[in-house]
Amino acid sequence: MPIQGASGVIDYEAELKSIKSNGMDKTHGKENDISYKTEDLQEVEIQFGELVLDKNEFKTNRDIVNKIVDSSDDPTMQVWTVRSVFIGGGLAIFGGVLQCMFYFKPQTILVSGVFLMLIAHVFGELWYKFVPSKGWLRYINPGPWNKKELTFATIMAGSASSCALAIEVLAVQKLWYNSSINAGIGIFITFSSQLIGYSLVGLGLKKALLYPSEMFYPNSIPLVTTIHALHNNKEKTKKQLKVFYWCFLAMFLYEIIPEWIFPWLIGISIPCLAAPKSSVVSRIFGGTNGNEGLGLLSFCFDWNYIASTSSPLTIPLTATVNNLIGYFLCIIVFCGVYYGNVWKSKNFPFLSQSLFYEDSAPGSYHVYNQTAILTDNVLDEDKLAENGIPYMTGTYAVYLIATNLSVGATITHMLLFNRKELAPAFYWFTELKNYLRNIKSVFTLETLKFWKNFDKDPRLNSDGVLPDVYNDAHMRAMLRYKEVPTWWYAVTFILSFIVALVCLYEAESGLPWYMLIFAMVLSYPLTLFLGGLVAIFGFGGTQMQTVVQMIGGFSMPKPSPLANMYFTLFGYNSVGQAFALLNDLQLGYYVKLPPRDTFAAQMIGTVIGAIFNYIMMNSIVDSQFDLLKDIEATSVIWSGQNVQQYNTQGIAWGALAKEMFTIGKTYYMVPLALVVGLGLPLPFYLGHRLRPTWGFDNVKTPLLVWYIGWLCVGVNSSITTFFIAAFISQFYLRKYKPVYFQKYNYIVAAALIGGCQVAIFILSFTIFGAGGPNTTHNFPRWWGNLNGATGINENFDHCLFTNKG
């Protein structure tokens, strides 16, 4: 529709077609100064109206990256300012202390990036408005708080705001193994285990998991779009910010209702209301309480549970469809295993993560005493014979099988469907092969001057050209900034390895040096292949911890729970840290933060986090030693549930792996699933090659099979609402309302997450007991708030409570 502008009539639909066909920027008139950037078509809203985007405007990941995320950059923006370091460092201390505290609380809460970003933004704006800026004070307050300062502070705070897995290991060692490690060793173990993960990224993985446009990290988009909206031209982002603030406020005020006043809203289940005394209905349709049921056809109205792992508004449609198929298969398989009494499933709870004695029976479950089979922290064969081999629930066994199937399928799937993106990760192998072929040329004077390659840009190929797989607006803008040299990561890796090796022997971990090397070698391919799922689909579902624990259990020279925990620390925690660094690097790329500044923010945050994680852990364990070991403790302030569970897993996998999972044993299919999983993508790849238009490439076997074990733990009543929200966002809006999708989808996602988490944070300290004594205030018991303050075993959705025993 033609619209009258200051310089004449402009037909926007015609203009859009012209821009797309010409592939060049256009500017109309000096008064209007309307600029279109063809590579991303960033700005939909113009002073005259809105452009109409095509129905299928967002087909690929590259479309999302180019058309939704702002690619503009101002190289003059300061990053290293007193306030950015002060705010980032202060929030790093706050986040590190808070997350470690929550690890030892009855209710575990994650400190999210959106939460930290909003706090940093408020403090940054207050600093700009109230701190004087005249004279020498201009160094303290150099001007308006900018988005690069905000991103720098957020990354620094986020790097510290996790309870490192090393803290769990050290707490277990102190509580159950009577081993007190000095502060220096504890801090260095924590620090080195995290830095090894960061080093993996720089040693080749950035080329595969960061630079390609397909690797767009969908879970980071809400944070990125919010940062841009807060700091870009306020006239252009006025509507977005208005929507953000209203959605944030609405979610903040609303969240108190399902969380405290009316928890029935966590899962409205019509079948539960119709048959409140049926155990079958409870297992299939219930789901508002932990380990209650599968939550089929339950409707959840609590965003804290709907977006508990990731926002449904950000996950790509292909991933969601595979998720949905896996979800229905999960229900079928779980019910088939339980009611078919596979692995004696009926003798144990429907859903549970504990181990049980074989003589358990319905309504009389006997939890396995795992410490009774150890002598000096090593498996005692005589005690094992006396206690017998433990059993697990059938549904948890399915989860372990599905996880291993997913890990195996991931390797094959990524090699078949994404080998172009992954190929750069193996550049070192090609280099080594070339050296060996031309061994004589390796020792020439020129090749021995290795330092000349220190500043070689890894983003460019040997001809100094940006490869097509990397070529998007963001990468082109980032080429003006120097990349972090590979040798920085190499030095970090070597120092971390030396520190880890020394600390392991000083800590009397029982982990041999060669097993440490094996754990670190194992973490490289896990990061490469599973990182692709995180980067492309936002899928962090594959919980590799059990896989690494299992491999460690089979590989250890003698069964040792503590040694297995340390093996898991360096084989699994390193992978998680690599994912965190990649997310932060991608955030930096989207905001145009120089890579070396991102690296520095990560290092500073990690050091702060390691120090304060250890200090808090040591203080809490010393003051609450007996309570943390008590499995029946009723304190509303502190809880040892997480550290107890980690100790249980260490014993199960470290001491009993060969007794439970080898060929001929009850659960031999668990490790075998790794091998079977390797072949799962092959039929779909062959089908895609034979019939490219039939959609075989849309079957993502790693996602699909993992979701077959999805519902083994937690609150499952949110699943139906999750899928409804996901399809509205990624199907209806993305395909039929691309303008609204572009402008509001990710900003709303950030607002809902932020409002929800700020509300939960405040409620935790004022109502739910995290603030200390006398801060627990249960809402009076009524029909919509069962199990409020009575201690009676009831479910919020009125389904039968079945986990008695």
pLDDT tens by residue, 450-468: 555 556 777 887 777 888 8
Question: For residue 18, is it within any domain?
Answer: yes
Question: For residue 379, is it within any domain?
Answer: no
- The average confidence (pLDDT) of the chain is 82
Q: How confident is the model at residue 758 (pLDDT cuts 50, 70, 90)?
A: confident
How far is 205 from 528, CA to CA, in rounded Å? Answer: 7
pLDDT of 714 strictly over 60: yes
Residue 51: helix, strand or coil by DSSP? coil
- Segments forming the whole domain that contains residue 47: 2-67
Question: For residue 595, is it within any domain?
Answer: no
Q: For the ranges 30-34, 118-122, 443-447, which has the lowest average pLDDT? A: 30-34
- Residue pair 527/200 in contact (Cβ under 8 Å)? The answer is yes
Q: Both tokens of residue 343?
A: 């692995």
Question: For residue 366, is it within any domain?
Answer: no
How far is 718 from 310, CA to CA, in rounded Å? Answer: 12
The pLDDT of residue 543 is 66
Question: For residue 60, is it within any domain?
Answer: yes
- Residue pair 609/233 in contact (Cβ under 8 Å)? The answer is no
Tell me the β-bridge partners of 50: 45
The average pLDDT across 620-627 equals 84
The residue among 687, 682, 680, 684 whose CA lies nearest residue 409 is 680
Q: How confident is the model at residue 679 (pLDDT cuts 50, 70, 90)?
A: very high
Q: Both tokens of residue 589?
A: 């790329």
- Residue pair 354/368 in contact (Cβ under 8 Å)? The answer is yes
The average pLDDT across 357-378 equals 84
Q: How many residues in the chain?
A: 805
How far is 118 from 758, CA to CA, in rounded Å? Answer: 10
pLDDT of 21 strictly over 80: no
The pLDDT of residue 790 is 42
What is the count of structural domains for the chain? 1
Can you give the pTM of this predicted structure?
0.84
Helices (H), 201-220: 206-209
The average pLDDT across 435-440 equals 57
Question: For residue 633, is it within any domain?
Answer: no
Query: What is the DSSP secondary-structure string of 299-343?
Result: B---HHHHTSSS-TTTS-HHHHHHHHHHHHHHHHHHHHHHHTTGG
- 393-427 confidence digits (pLDDT tens): 999 999 999 999 999 999 999 999 988 878 777 66
Question: For residue 50, is it within any domain?
Answer: yes
> 3-state DSSP: the chain helix, strand, coil percent, rounded to 5?
65, 5, 35
Which is more confident, 337 or 46?
Answer: 337
Question: For residue 17, is it within any domain?
Answer: yes
Q: Which of 29-33, 496-500, 783-787 has the highest mean pLDDT?
A: 496-500
Which uninterrupted H or E stretch holds 501?
helix 486-506
The average pLDDT across 377-390 equals 87
